[in-house]
Every structure is written in C-alpha cells, then in structure tokens.
A and B are shown apart, each in its own frame.
Chain A
Amino acid sequence: MKLRYFAWVRERIGKAEENVDLPSGIVTVADLVDWLSGRGEEYAHAFDNPKVIRAAIDRSHVKPDTPITGAQEIAFFPPMTGG
C-alpha cells in the first residue's frame, strides 16, 4: 500500500511517500496511525496529536474510523490552508 505525507507531517517523517506491507489486524485509518506511530520517533512526532491529522483514501477525505480495506493510496496531512 502506498502512503503519502504532506506539509509538516512529511517534514517530521522525513519522506513524502513510501510503500508499506501492513500486518493483519489494521482495520481503520486510526489503527494505521497507531501502527505508524510505533515505527520510529519521527512517526511518533508526526502523529503525536492524532486529532489534528487528516487522512484521504484514494484521494477522498475520510474519517479516522474508516476501514482501509481495498485502499491503494492513503495520505496523511494537517488541516488544509488553501485558497
């Protein structure tokens, strides 16, 4: 599965994207954030306040309780500041 990171999430993790093999048992976006947080200090730092992290599955906004089954690409980013 492809993961993408933007803005300060990208800066803290140190990469814009990566491909990961997920272990079984990761059902929702929130589960994925928990798993990522455990991968290293840089991930823990990026996700230390999960409430401000937003996510998109296959380029559509999703809530933390959304299942990730079938997702091709999941992105994590801070609240948006476009316009």
Chain B
Amino acid sequence: MTASIRLQREPFDAAHEAARLLRGRTDVGAVVTFTGICRGEEADAPLVAMTLEHYPGMAEAEVGRHVEAAQRRWPLLGVTVIHRFGRLAPGDQIVLVVTAAAHRQDAFAAAEYLMDYLKTRAPFWKRVETAREAVWVEAKQSDDALAERWMPSPGGRAAAE
C-alpha cells in the first residue's frame, strides 16, 4: 500500500496528490480528500497570521504511526498526509489527508480517524496573531473527545468492527 507522509512549508496541490494515489490503478473505488484550512478568525477576533511550530523527527514518526494504525484498521489502498509548518495566512492550507480504498466507508472512516489523531497527537503547536496580541492556541477538549471515540471501549466494541 502506498503511504506518503510529508511535512513542508510550501502549499500542496490536493487534486494532484489524489491523482497520484490513483495512477495506474483500477482497484480504487473511493478517494477521500480532506483539506484543513486556516480560518480568518480565532475567538471572534480577525486573524492576521497563524504560525505552526513542530517537532521535526517526531512529527513524521507520529504521523507515520497513525497511518500504519489506519492501514491495520481499514483495507486502504493508499494514504497521503501532508502537514505544513511555518507562518500561514487566513485562507492558506494547513493539512491534507487523502485516503483511497475499494469502498467509501473505509476511505471516509480512515480520513476522519487520521484527522482526529492529527489534531491531538501530532507534535504541532499553533500561535495566532490578531491585531491586539499573539497567543498560543489551546488544545480543545472536543478534539480529545473525537480522538477518544476511535479507541477500543472497555467492552471491546471496536474489536467487533
């Protein structure tokens, strides 16, 4: 299975990345392409810029671990994850997740799983600048809750998938 993981400053081309996963294949029936984008406001104040700090080495390793986990969990035929770092402006792309599978349920579920984990376990930190101040974005409990729902429950419900 083709897995491509990249961290980079530059923007990416989502359509190009999805096409790369499909090239020469006829077994893919579903491709899900998710793009995360820098919004123009944070806590009701207009955003001037967002800077993404990351832990080089660990970020690639951590994303790789989650891609491997997604491959074990769903019958994926291809995965691409690209995460940018550095200074971004409103409207700029932040992250790309592309998943390819024979069927849509697997492609959708894997893309959502990867995004939920990227939001909580990948070592990136956002600093946002508004007109008044520059502050570190705080991790959201709602993101932790979304990531937790992918974990096996004590009764082993997830094992029944």
Contacts and interface: CB of A to CB of B under 8 A. Distances in A.
Interface residues of B, number: 28
Of B58, B118, B119, B139, most buried by chain A (CB within 10 Å of CB) is B58
Interface in B54-71: 54-55, 57-59, 61-62
Interface string A62-83: 0000000000000101111111
Interface of A: 4, 6-8, 56, 59-61, 75, 77-83
Contacts, number: 72
A59 B59 CA distance: 8
B123 A8 contact: no
A80 B121 contact: yes
Given A60-B62, A80-B123, A80-B124, 16 more contacts: A7-B136, A56-B58, A59-B58, A59-B62, A60-B61, A61-B121, A75-B55, A77-B125, A80-B122, A80-B125, A81-B125, A82-B54, A82-B122, A82-B123, A83-B94, A83-B95
